[in-house]
Amino acid sequence: MSDKKPNLLLITADQLRYDCVGCSGVYPVRTPNLDRLSAEGVTFTRAFSHAPVCGPARQSLLRGRRPETFGALWNSGAFLPVGSLQPDQYTWTKTLAANGYASAFLGKWGVHPELDATSFGYDSYLGEEAYRAFLKERYPDVRYTGGYFGEANPVPVEHSSTHWLADRAAEAIGRLAASGSPWHVAVHFAEPHLPCRPSGRFASMYDPADVPEWAGFRETFAGKPYIQRQQLYSWSVENFGWSDWAPIVARYYGVISQLDEAIGRILAALEARGEADNTIVAFTADHGDMCGSHRMMDKHYILYDDVVRVPLIVRLPGVREGRRCDRFVYNLLDLPPTLLDLLGLGADDSAGLQGRSLLPLLRGEEGADWRDCVVAAYNGQQFGLYTQRMIRTERWKYVWNLTDTDELYDLAADPAELTNLIGRSDLAPIVAELRARLYERLAGDEDPAVANEWTRRQLLAGAKLSGRDWPRPPAEA
């Protein structure tokens, strides 16, 4: 590593499942550039999104706190007005700016409906609207008819949104590197968020006949919250079989491979500029995607691993040795203190960051005292409000659905989370323990879901019915 302050390149994907990166070894998605990054950095195999919705997740990444603590409950403009991160609040990017870092933000924003990244510590901003203007000028006659299910994109790969953004990112790296200041470039891709529209060779890269079913596809919804089955009707996919989903998943794979090639272009530009050996590279996603798993679309009303478990790779300057870490980490909450530590900076005393620095794990200190569970939250989105909180340990996942039946999954016996065990009398002690642990963590993180006596009684007094307790009509008794 040089004597210069290290630079920082942060790359995020939107709606990328942890198991759809080649280095995960789970599904047959080809991502050679991310696989190389994994082989040269630390891959966190148990990284989780604490807020699997685009806007809240992205605001949390900047603020370093759970979105419930500053009112960012769902995406701006969805369902009801909701609070957003405000420019007078702390963001770790302001600490970088105060310490001489030049910076650029490119791609998907989603943090504030009116203010852009320059109000939150970045020197420059180039958002999705710039690509839309480019597309309108170069390809004014392009029309899409596939809706949220996607389709092949007639726009050539070189002019697709992934590659256009990668080229702009390469230009930003060159510009900031030439300034002589340490720099930070954030590249936030909008892919592979639905609708998936792979271009050129990526549109035919995966044959639907060769795409395996998701492990969680054979969902029956027995004993599950009502809202999960309702989601199928909301999307009009209630009659879809795997033959209907396979082409959609093939396009999802295709866009991921296209995204991977674009990321490769950014990493190549970093190398060409001679900046790679003095640059921290971090890659992650805001959350995952159902894309047919459990027969559902998108990411709403569930806290399955399909949407809360995400890829996270960190490559340190001058290090080219790949290593995997299986500790529980929060990708978006833990990155702010981690990046500040790696840059030799500290957050303001008033920042109140809620994540933990990953520095001990990046150094290979596997014996370090560390968390043994993660907690995630969901607060409702475009089909209505629905409050959920989840605690996940190595073996168990408990989902607290405040206005519906809860969920309990034995991940050792049922990793696809198909069988809801809530209400089984022999598992009552486990449920009580998980509820108490969840309460402790929610209270510690100032979550308003446990701020009144009625919700607390559900967790601490077991005042919560399960589907097994509901009265049934006489014919079903």
Domain CATH for 88: 3.40.720.10
Is-contact 8 343, C-beta < 8 A?
yes
Q: What's the mean pLDDT in 156-182?
A: 97
Q: Are 72 and 133 members of one domain?
A: yes
DSSP 234-290: HHT-TT--HHHHHHHHHHHHHHHHHHHHHHHHHHHHHHHTT-GGGEEEEEEES----
Neighbours of 451 (CB within 10 A): 11
Whole-angstrom distance, CA of residue 197 vs CA of residue 203: 7
Is residue 439 domain-shared with residue 305, that is, in the same domain?
A: no
The answer to whether position 381 is within a domain reads: no
Answer yes or no: is 215 within a domain. Answer: yes
Residue 368 lies in a domain: no
Q: Is residue 257 part of a domain?
A: yes
Model confidence at 468, in pLDDT bands (50, 70, 90)? confident
The boundaries of the domain holding residue 271 are: 7-362
Question: Are 272 and 343 part of one and the same domain?
Answer: yes
Give the predicted TM-score (pTM) of the model.
0.96
The residues, any chain, with a CB within 8 Å of residue 21's CB and separated by 6 or more, are: 29, 31, 34, 35, 38, 256, 311
Give the span between the Cα atoms of 114 and 86, in whole angstroms. 11
- pLDDT exceeds cutoff 60 at 477: no
The greatest distance separating any two alpha carbons of the chain, rounded to the nearest whole angstrom, comes to 78
Instruction: Mark residue 292 as left, alpha or beta (left: phi above 0; alpha: psi -120 to 50; beta: remaining).
Output: left
Mean pLDDT over each residue of the chain, to the nearest integer = 95
Domain check: are 354 and 451 in the same one? no
pLDDT computed for residue 476 by the predictor:
46
In a domain, 214, yes or no: yes
Residue 380 in domain: no
Residue 431 located in a structural domain: yes
What is the mean predicted confidence (pLDDT) over 172-197?
A: 97
Write down the pLDDT at residue 471.
67
40 plus 136 within the same structural domain: yes
Query: Over 60: is that where the pLDDT of 1 sits?
Result: no
- For the chain, give the percent of residues with pLDDT over 90: 89
| Per-residue pLDDT reduced to its tens digit, 73-103 | 888 877 777 788 999 999 999 999 999 999 9
Are 309 and 456 found together in one domain? no
Amino acid identity for residue 326 in this structure: D
d(CA 472, CA 474): 6
Residues 357 and 392 in one domain: no
Give the H or E element holding residue 331: helix 331-342
Q: Which CATH number do you get for residue 465?
A: 3.30.1120.10
Residue 309 near residue 18 (C-beta atoms within 8 A):
yes
Domain boundary residue among 345, 362, 379?
362
User: What total number of domains does the chain contain?
Assistant: 2
Report yes or no on 326 lying in a domain.
Answer: yes
User: Do 354 and 415 belong together in one domain?
Assistant: no
Residues 331 and 407 in one domain: no
Same-domain check for residues 163 and 62: yes
CB within 8 A of 303, min separation 6: which ones?
A: 52, 376, 378, 388, 390, 397, 399
49 shares its domain with 124: yes
Residue whose token pair is 């159902």: 290
pLDDT(261) > 70: yes
Q: Is the pLDDT of residue 346 over 90?
A: no
- Checking if the pLDDT of 403 tops 70, the result is yes
357 shares a domain with 391: no
Lookup result for tokens 């924003």: 109
